[in-house]
Amino acid sequence: MGNSFSISGQYVDILKKHIYPATIRVQNGIIESIESTMEAPMQYLLPGFIDAHVHVESSMLIPSSFARLAVTHGTIGTISDPHEIANVCGMEGVQYMIDNGKKVPFHFFFGAPSCVPATVFETAGAAINSNDVASLLANPDIYYLSEMMNFPGVLLNDEEVMKKIATAHKLGKPVDGHAPGLRGDDAKKYIEAGISTDHECFTIEEALDKLQHGMKILIREGSAAKNFEALYELIQDHPSMIMLCSDDKHPDSLVEGHINSLCARAVAKGIDPLLVLRAACINPVDHYKLPTGKMQVGDAANFIVVQDLVSFKVNQTYIKGALVAENGKSFIKAVSEKAINKFDARSIEENNIQISLNEYPQQDGKIAVMEAIDGQLITNKLWLSPKLDAGKIVSDTESDVLKMVVYNRYFAAPPKMAFIKNFGFKNGAIASTVAHDSHNIIAVGVSDTDIVHAINLVIKEQGGISCVSANEIKLMGLPVAGLMSLEDPYKVAANYTAIDLMAKSLGSSLGSPFMTLSFMALLVIPHLKLSDKGLFDGDGFKLF
């Protein structure tokens, strides 16, 4: 617990919409009193920020390292879905995250992954059934049922899906949603099944449709999916129903900012700062019944000191009365941790990733091509003329249609190929074992030589990200499930920045090529994706 102390500033009572000079007294990590004063320093005292939905694994940092960065931005807690590591390591992976998170002064509120594997059309490293989910939900360290991505299962009353939801309801724990593009009667039925949030809205019309049925909307702005511009007005119009989240945050962008950055952007758009803070600090506490408090007398001393309510520059962050960050410097100490993993892929050769025209989905002489959209998880399905070389389909840099490969990491199986537009590479390739949801190896590149080289580099590391060109190689190992590093978070961020810049130097204009690539195997987001079992039609929810 923190020592006894007092701090003065402009106290922000978010719900009462009142800001006044006050002194907060803290005794043994608890707010003992909040006393109004005649004057106080022009710094603002407010509850810490909560990221209402995040996969910590996407930061490439273990929870204890993630916390070291997050507290510098005033984040005191996260609603964390350990879905990614669960797909690799199962129940052991979930417990790994809980145990590591407990080693630092930070509030990780983990959920029970609801969809492991996410679909039957891909190979994951583990399966978590309804009995496993019930066991997790009974754990006091598990606060909710994580995003129910199997919305077709909800609509069709799938027995396993409904058992998971029923268990959460029985235990009084909320159920998170994931229903991109779901509208009308289908959205109504999905919500009426007892699913209370959605972070996948990418138009305000979709969000309003879900809001009218009582669903809370999480405005997402991460490293890949960026929905803030489309949805920020909801904060003003539906203040009790909105939360802010990152979903997926790469280490370089986490160094730059977190929920505080979204607050600043919302205020710059003309949204009332107190409504912004309600979404960022209060609504997650209410919805998920968090024990962090709301900076009231008797609450744990989880609060932050910010310079103003415009920039939200964080001067200090307190968790349970302990000063954990000040002026951009984190006081959370590094934690020594072991790695866990599941990896059994063998190196491959160029002939393994060659594909003939008659082996690939086509229509009127044209082939199916997925179109990556910068800042979105959704992809378009295009039908384009292929480039052929000796009867094999190859990358076409002039049309910016490149070969993509997904290769099973868990047991011996042939790789699967597809073609993708908008990566922009003129040479070279990138590969990664961060490939939502099952985290098989995924790669994209110009030549088969480079693609195979990039894949074999991450295989040698048993997980990581790589970038190769004619005269340069960059490789970053991710020994924890092929998703996370054990290195210092600032070093991880610097290494990621370097490899990201190299990927962009190959010709890509994507804001985050590796993050975008990681979602090209995410089958639960339409319209066209690639799994280790083949090309997937997200609209028909089936393999070609």
Joined together, the tokens standing for residue 364 give 């009127």
Strands lying side by side in the sheet with 542-543 = 528-531, 534-537, 542-543
Residues 285 and 360 in one domain: no
Residue 41 domain-assigned (yes or no) = no
Count H helices, E strands: the chain?
16, 30
Residue 215 domain-assigned (yes or no) = yes
> Which H helix or E strand runs over 93?
helix 83-101
Residue 437 domain-assigned (yes or no) = yes
Average pLDDT of the chain? 96
**pLDDT score for 525:** 86
Residues 203 and 55 in one domain: yes
Residues 155 and 287 in one domain: yes
391 C-beta neighbours (distance < 10 Å), count: 9
pLDDT over 70 (residue 1): no
Residues 288 and 409 in one domain: no
Boundary (domain end) residue, out of 292, 326, 342: 292
At 117, the amino acid letter reads P
More confident residue, 525 or 371: 371
| pLDDT tier at 260, thresholds 50, 70, 90 | very high
- The span from the first CA to the last CA of the chain, in angstroms, equals 57
pLDDT over 90 (residue 3): no
CB 405 within 8 A of CB 491: no
Per-residue model confidence as pLDDT tens digits over 40-73: 999 999 999 999 999 999 999 999 999 999 999 9
User: What phi, psi does 22 have (nearest 5°)?
Assistant: -155, 165
| pLDDT tier at 2, thresholds 50, 70, 90 | low
Q: What is the mean pLDDT of residues 372-383?
A: 91
> Which H helix or E strand runs over 323?
strand 322-326
Residue 359 domain-assigned (yes or no) = yes
Residues 86 and 172 in one domain: yes
- The DSSP output letter for 123 is -
Alpha-helical segments (H) within 269-408? 273-277, 283-288
Residues 139 and 229 in one domain: yes
Per-residue model confidence as pLDDT tens digits over 424-482: 999 999 999 999 999 999 999 999 999 999 999 999 999 999 999 999 999 999 999 99
Assign 24 to helix, strand or coil.
Answer: strand
Buried b (16+ CB within 10 A) or exposed e, 244-278: bbbbbbbbbbbbebbbbbbbbbbbeeebebbbbbb
Assign 72 to helix, strand or coil.
Answer: helix
**pLDDT score for 542:** 93
**Nearest-angstrom CA–CA distance, 266 and 278:** 12
Residue 52 domain-assigned (yes or no) = yes
Per-residue model confidence as pLDDT tens digits over 204-243: 999 999 999 999 999 999 877 889 999 999 999 999 999 9
Q: What is the mean pLDDT of residues 301-307?
A: 98
Q: How much is the CA Rg of the chain, to the nearest whole Å? A: 23
- The DSSP output letter for 359 is G
**pLDDT score for 522:** 93
Nearest to 183 by CA among 222, 162, 214, 209: 209
**Nearest-angstrom CA–CA distance, 49 and 282:** 9
Q: How many domains does the chain have?
A: 2
Instruction: Write out the residue range of the structural domain in which residue 156 sits.
Output: 47-292
CB 528 within 8 A of CB 536: yes
Residue 85 domain-assigned (yes or no) = yes
pLDDT over 80 (residue 292): yes
Alpha-helical segments (H) within 278-341? 283-288
Residue matched to tokens 């986490």: 254
Pairing of strands 362-363, 18-27: unpaired
At 44, the amino acid letter reads Y
Residues 493 and 396 in one domain: yes
Joined together, the tokens standing for residue 78 give 């996260």
CB 448 within 8 A of CB 434: no
Residue 320 domain-assigned (yes or no) = no
Residues 251 and 357 in one domain: no
Joined together, the tokens standing for residue 334 give 């590094």
Residues 263 and 376 in one domain: no
Per-residue model confidence as pLDDT tens digits over 129-163: 999 999 999 999 999 999 999 888 999 999 999 99
**pLDDT score for 223:** 79
Half-sphere exposure for 396 (CA within 13 Å, toward CB) = 17
Residues 124 and 267 in one domain: yes
Residue 23 domain-assigned (yes or no) = no
Boundary (domain end) residue, out of 292, 310, 334: 292
pTM of the model: 0.95
Residues 477 and 409 in one domain: yes
Distance (Å) of CA 4 to CA 106, 252, 301, 323, 462: 19, 35, 11, 12, 47
CATH number of residue 150's parent domain: 3.20.20.140
Strands (DSSP E) along 204-251, which ranges?
A: 216-220, 242-245
Boundary (domain end) residue, out of 292, 309, 328: 292
Residues 276 and 368 in one domain: no
CB 71 within 8 A of CB 330: yes
**Nearest-angstrom CA–CA distance, 419 and 179:** 26
